[in-house]
Amino acid sequence: MVGIRLLQDGVTGENMHYADHKTILSPKNGMNIYRGCTHGCIYCDSRSTCYQMDHDFEDIEVKRDAPRILEAQLLRKRKKCMIGTGAMCDPYMHIESELQMTRQCLSVIEKHGFGLSILTKSDRILRDMDILKAINGKSKCVVQITLTTFDDALCKIIEPHVSSTSERIRVLEKMRDAGIPTVVWLCPILPFINDTEDNLRGLLDHCVKAKVRGILCFGFGVTLRDGDREYFYKKLDEHFPGIRERYEQRFGDSYECRSPNSDRLMNIFRNECRKHGILHDQKEVFEYLTEFETRTRQTSLF
């Protein structure tokens, strides 16, 4: 095991260790370089015991030789495709600043002409704008950003060690200006905390201005299961006294904790997306994220 200390963004003393893997791509071309996270989001589903993580969540597992393994797998593919990353663990958590494993893997993807669909909550992705532009010039690069709350102060409570909402909005705007398409994950929205019309409209206004291609919304609420639920309730007790009891009374041990405002908010969400031509049907958005495209360049005859 190797220890590493990072002194930035208010987070100190992170641990990491390397693990040997034979593959890095899933059968559906998903890629996770890291396992665990240091962002500290109070609702994180990846903490759930069903994922059978055999180390502390903040002790980051790093897949040894990830770029080399990725390149070997890409070379064996018969057809180009989109490579997805970020669904389970953020590719731009704090440790990436020093290890640069994500950047190395993006370089491999660009080198071999594959597409990229990458999801993050961190503005560290701006460091790799050069590679993202290069990928998008050859095929398709889609940058996905998770947004949960319009209020930066609330954001720092429920997502304490990650880029603020304002910083993530700036990422969307910079991608827009660079011609890189974006998709927003509007989830989770926490019942009794940020499940308000003001919060939703504030986030949607920014999405419209940033000209996002699509928004993924799975209803308004949060999912909780063993491992995740205990951590979430602990943080509710710390920051939102009395809210835990409301969850227990209304949801019990349910996996899906649906906001009582969900139907009304979904109507607002759908209407605003239709009004501004934003993809919002889940099937259509996922099809867009997984559809590989080759950029064709017309050469001048003169």
Whose tokens are 């319009």? That residue is 150
Predicted confidence (pLDDT) per residue in 120-179, tens digit = 999 999 999 999 999 999 999 999 999 999 999 999 999 999 999 999 999 999 999 999
pTM of the predicted protein model: 0.91
Q: Between the CA of residue 227 and those of 50, 53, 234, what are the distances in Å?
A: 8, 11, 11
Buried/exposed 154-171: b ≥16 CB within 10 Å, e otherwise: bbeebbbbbbbbeebbbb
Q: What is the pLDDT of residue 270?
A: 98
Q: What is the pLDDT of residue 53?
A: 78
Amino acid present at 289: L
Which CATH topology does 2-290 take? TIM Barrel (3.20.20)
Q: What is the pLDDT of residue 296?
A: 61
Q: What is the pLDDT of residue 14?
A: 57
Spell out the domain ranges in the chain: 2-290
Q: What is the mean pLDDT of each run of 10 residues along the chain (302 residues)?
A: 37 72 95 93 91 85 96 97 94 95 98 98 98 97 98 97 97 98 98 98 98 97 94 97 97 96 98 98 97 67 34
